[in-house]
A and B are shown apart, each in its own frame.
Chain A
Amino acid sequence: MQPRPLLEFKKIGKSFGPNRVLADVSFDLRAGEVHVLAGENGAGKSTLIKILAGIHTDYEGTIELAGRPVRFARPVDANHHGISVIHQEMSLVEAMSAADNIHLGREPARWGGWWLDRSAQLGHALGLCRQLDLELSAEDLACPVERFPMSVRNRIEIAKALAFDARVIVMDEPTGALNAAEVAKLFALIEALKGRGCGIIYISHKMEEIYRIADRITVLRDGRWIGTADAKDCPETTLIQWMIGRDLARQSRAAAGMAAAPAAPRLAVERLTVPDLRPGRPPAIADFSIKVAPGEIVGMAGLQGSGSTELFQGLFGVHGAACRGEVRIDGRPFRPESPAASIRRGLAYLTGDRQGTGLVADLSVENNVCLAALPRHSPGGILRPRRERAQASRHVAALSIRGASPDRPVGVLSGGNQQKVVMAKWLETRPGVMLLEEPTRGVDIGAKQEIYALLNQWTAQGMAILLISTELPELLLLSDRIVVLHRGRLAAEFARAEATPEKILAAAMGAAGDRGEPEAVA
């Protein structure tokens, strides 16, 4: 007989107006387990979590906490019942200190709650950090959180969630911005929480992560419960089938019959150095050389801080004409100076942060698609709406962008469809060289496969692609070649056939590279 579950969802249902987003969802969470909640974007995971968190209060069914039915009227009720949610989007106030953030809304206070008790707050925060092994000193806790890298912010977020003895912890894609070492730390923390009897609902799109951490897995699809199983009884193929409701043939580039043809390189970079934006630091990229042939995808691997993002920014001229070295596009010399100039030379840069730097959420789908190629679509400086619409609807059809008509703001689309809009925007500039950073971040499995197929299509037309992905399986699947960066320098280079996750990770962490070059001290 199983012990009584920590938390139980019973026939939860929810509609937004005429749209039914959840129906009859029932499953339970046991103490001391990690329960992965999986499903494509739009499957209803976030809605379910928002109900649990007390954000949506208008729903059907019941939630039972240790056998007692509960109903939360506001988020703070959920907190008082020992439920903590770490949301996908960071919810820290950037300009406030870590300690202030941890206690936001429940500050320890004296004199009837009017006078902040800063020392008690700091003491509590320090105790919490020690308990969670967070390696933050008293000085760190007093710093504004905006000074910390994403990984530290992520841990502060967890400390905030745990500040008040949470028994049920929900983590919504917590590893999105973390590198491998930081993920390992987070997982150790999760193990410790399990040991203390917490139950953890863990939402993730990353397969390897799911199987590393899950005790049980529940899958939602189209707002319905599809199944719950022990992780060891639920192989990846089953899981994918549950999630998308059909078999998915994994298509790799080799299977698609792609191979890099030996041809003159579209992009040739010779001894490129990109300075670090913070003064007094060694360059973010030093003496980097690479050639990318037409139709080739070169994957870039490296831990956080390896400099791959800075390489893209430098090549695209994001921070002006800052780099030194020689760049040639289609054999002609190119000097990065501004995004506008780079676009004119057939360079495109899909950034890893769709909301922050990819889309203009208020503009319509068609205006976003045409934004980067607007000079071509508005001869004489005069807009041609019909021309834009025609162009955009071509892409909407070709990339199967679904969810809204092209004249609606792009913000209403789901993550995967927004990503396709960004891809359409860059495609519209007719690039010869594409710099892709995390093209499938926050995108569900179905859309991921569509994006992979698109990349194959583009390379078949002769586009050269440089690809950054923190998901190693994706990198191995897509790349013809993989170069590994370590602290701004080329650490190793692998042909597709010889690349393995172990070799890549070793090189990324600074072990002697395969090329036998002595590694310069950064």
Chain B
Amino acid sequence: MRNPVAARWLETPWVRALLALALVILVGFVFNADGAFLRWSTHRDMLRQISVYGILACGMTLVIITGGIDLAVGSVLGLSAVLFARLTLVGGHGAVVAIAAVLAAGLGAGLASGGLVARFKVQPFIATLAMMVFARGLAKWSSGGQKISQAVQAPDGSFSYVDLPRVFDVLGSRVLGGNVAVVTLVFAACLALSWVVLAKLRYGRYLYATGGNEEAARLSGVPVARAKLVAYGLSGLFAAVAGICQAAQELQGDPEAGISYELTAIAIAVIGGNSLAGGRGGVGLTLLGALTIGYLEKILSINSVGESSRLMLTGGIIVAAVLLQRRRTA
């Protein structure tokens, strides 16, 4: 690049993530599947489909900025979906109670892995791997290995159908004239919350400092252990939010829900340009990453590309996006 100003501009992760997104959208206009890509409903559905992953990616971004990783979010999602379904469908609890309890459980799971990382200095990969396995086990145990749905089995083996609580309808519906899914709004709220934490709160700065240089941060009086607890705790909380959304959309609590979702969440954060080394990045980049992955999937599916090719293409595109984003050294 001849022009140094343009070259420096091109080096900012923001611009690169935007370029990648623009490229994908351009592909969408070219392969628009007889105009399907030009309809709002396509975009609306894309936003709905990416929301659960995006909510997980918000928490993932916080953790990645501290230099860590959270592999447990998919399992915590599954656990939360099961708990939410049990509390509402089987237990007959109200929505507020159920949501509060599930959020508390997710927060607890996050704090537990955060505690292992912060207090006991377990490597984040290992600590959250353990939590991933444990939470999945807990989800299966509390559901008895069955999907928890409206068909509730009585002790004598007979099935009875319970009415769907209103909270399922609300979370699964669309608002604003049917133009935006409620889960997309939940995703937006999670984005906003993460942004406030990272950009506006003292603890946000602490997350960056911890990921950038933990020892320098600690010697500057930064409470690095508490900063990590905050990151992992919020990641668990977001995973619980995602679990509730998932249960509401599927109308059931599936103990197998969310398997490998953590990998999609990491892919979203990385494609957006967040560095796995920690210390830099932001939730805005994560939004761009979520849109990139979402559009990619959508374009492939409206063009009836089969799942096998879709997966292979996605793998290739993740590599391409990361190579594109890598800083070039002089």
Contact = CB atoms under 8 A, between A and B. Distances in A.
Whether chains A and B associate is yes
**A-B pairs, 7 with minimum CB distance:** A360-B212, A340-B221, A372-B220, A362-B279, A378-B202, A362-B212, A343-B221
13 contacts: A17-B4, A339-B221, A351-B219, A360-B212, A360-B213, A362-B279, A363-B205, A374-B202, A374-B205, A375-B202, A378-B205, A383-B205, A429-B221
B216 interface: yes
B218 A371 contact: no
A350 to B, nearest CB: 10
B154 interface: no
B238 interface: no
- Chain B binding surface, main DSSP class: helix
A342 B213 CA distance: 20
B188 interface: no
Interface residues of A, number: 31
B330 A357 contact: no
A229 to B, nearest CB: 33
Contact of B208 (A342, A351, A363, A425): A363
B328 interface: no
Interface of A: 16-18, 316, 318, 339-340, 342-344, 349, 351, 356-363, 367, 371-372, 374-375, 378, 381-383, 425, 429
A318 B219 contact: yes
A316 B218 CA distance: 11
B199 interface: yes
A362 B222 CA distance: 16
Contacts of A359: 213, 216
Given A349-B219, A357-B216, A357-B219, A16 B202 contact: no
B188 to A, nearest CB: 22
B172 interface: no
Given A318-B219, A339-B220, A381-B203, 20 more contacts: A17-B7, A339-B219, A339-B221, A343-B221, A356-B215, A357-B216, A358-B216, A361-B213, A362-B211, A362-B212, A363-B208, A363-B279, A371-B209, A371-B222, A374-B205, A375-B221, A378-B205, A381-B201, A382-B202, A383-B202
Nearest to A409: B280
A340 B213 CA distance: 16
B219 A382 contact: no
Interface in B102-146: none
A383 B199 contact: yes
B83 to A, nearest CB: 31
Q: How large is the interface on B (under 10, 10 to 19, 20 to 34, 35 or more residues)?
A: 20 to 34
Given A360-B279, A362-B280, A367 B205 contact: yes
Contacts of A429: 221
Interface in B197-236: 199-206, 208-209, 211-213, 215-223
A195 B222 CA distance: 53
Contacts of B202: 374-375, 378, 381-383
Interface of B: 4, 7, 199-206, 208-209, 211-213, 215-223, 279-280, 330
Nearest to B215: A357
Contacts of A351: 219
A313 to B, nearest CB: 9
A318 B217 CA distance: 12
A198 B48 CA distance: 70
Contacts of B213: 356-357, 359-361
Contacts of B203: 381
A318 B216 CA distance: 11
A275 B254 CA distance: 55
A340 B204 contact: no
Contacts of A371: 205, 209, 217, 220, 222
A383 B219 contact: no
A389 B217 CA distance: 19
B221 A372 contact: yes
Nearest to A370: B205
A360 B219 contact: no
B201 A383 contact: yes
Nearest to A411: B212
Which of A17, A371, A374, A381 is packed against the most chain B CB atoms within 10 Å?
Answer: A371
Contacts of B4: 17-18
Contacts of A383: 199-202, 204-205
Contacts of B218: 339
Contacts of B199: 383
